[in-house]
Amino acid sequence: MRGDGNLYKRGTTWWCAFYVDGKQQRESAKTSDEETAKKYLRRRLKEVHAHECNPAERFLTQRDRRRTIADLVDALKRDLELRGKNTSQGKSNLARVSADFGAFRAMNLTAEDVDEYIERRLAEGYAKASINRTTQLLHQAYTLAELPAPRIRRLSEKGNERRGFFSESEIRLVIANLPESLRDFVLFGYLTGMRRGEIASLEWADVDGDTIRLRAENAKTGEGRTLPIVGELAELIARRREARQVKVKGTVVLANLIFHRGCLPIAEFRKSWASACCAAGVGKLVCPKCSGNVDEKRFCAQCSREWKREELNYAGKLFHDLRRSAVRDLIRAGVSAHVAMSISGHKTDSMLRRYDIVDTRDQRAALELRAEYLKTRRGEGVVAMAATR
């Protein structure tokens, strides 16, 4: 009968053919017994009819069942690259997903497997946010492939917000201890709150008169924005214009990038940053064995070991704390949240609130304002009572 499919042999193995959404599917029944092959065909036809009754319930082919999570991650990586959203951090997280889950067949991964993975990484000391980024991409890979994903637990990140801020005196001291090629780069981050990758992408072609235009492809959110060149920012851009001419192999060339190292982009500078923060007293070097403080001679008194510089861990303020500081200073200066978001590039109020963290100084100022308000009200009350008499 039409729509009932058919069986045929290839060598000693039975195969079946049937239609799904107007396309013929050919599958091996993986048996040499005709009755077993008929049962297999009937079971597959039931799945076809279920899909026809509810198109949202996808029909899974044998190819779908053979796909590994590594295949899914590769497809997701290509999709992100086509959409221009495959950041360096995203690439790192995708590599982690592929390394940890790649060997699994996508249809064989269970919720228990995911939970065991989460428990193992927590025991290894990884942050909940780091684990969530990995499992989030795992779920995204299933969604793109339109395959049913196992239940993937999301860990609560409440209380995960970093609370690091720079005062102006602190960041000025850090900048003074940085190599000259990084000083304006870091100062720009403090003045604007722009992300490190966005700053590194800025070119002279992005400067339009007294405005800097961050292109959409270079913005983390995928939306471009403008930044007026005013105040100290104007002095900084003037310095960068003077530093634009660079001598390369005996020839003077003009750098395309606003911030550069000999015309080359500014990439990682973790060691320089850690050294400058330690010299400024806002960071410290930590022993990788016992997490104790290490002195200037790189000696840990707690475990009595001397370490090489590259072996030590850094604990202290981060470059991203500049962004947090800029947002808080804007809000404290009376700038509306909407305007602050247009400068910092935040898309949602909830993300902005993570950066505008209230501390005791804010609370003290608020209570002092309330006390002044109550004092004024009491004065108005006394004047009103005197008038009625």
Tens-place pLDDT, residues 219-230? 888 888 999 999
What is the rounded CA–CA span in Å between residue 72 and residue 75?
Answer: 5
Mean pLDDT of the chain: 86
- Asked if the model's pLDDT at residue 7 lies above 60, the reply is yes
Tokens representing 264 are: 């080359």
- pTM for the predicted model, two decimal places: 0.62
Question: Sign of torsion, CA 84 326 188 274?
Answer: negative
Give the pLDDT confidence score for residue 269 in this predicted structure: 92
* Residue pLDDT, tens place only, 156-167: 877 655 668 899
Q: What's the pLDDT tens digit per position in 152-195?
A: 999 887 765 566 889 999 999 999 999 999 999 999 999 999 99
Mean pLDDT of 25-48: 91
Q: What is the pLDDT of residue 222?
A: 82
pLDDT at position 275 over 60: yes
Per-residue pLDDT band for 215 (boundaries 50, 70, 90) equals: very high
* Span 104-129, average pLDDT: 90
User: What tokens appear for 157 in the block?
Assistant: 């990140």
The tens digit of pLDDT for each residue in 327-337 reads 888 888 888 87
Please state, in angstroms and rounded to a whole number, the distance separating the CA atoms of residues 203 and 218: 11
Tens-digit pLDDT profile for residues 284-300:
888 887 878 887 778 88
* Banded model confidence at residue 23, pLDDT cuts 50, 70, 90: confident
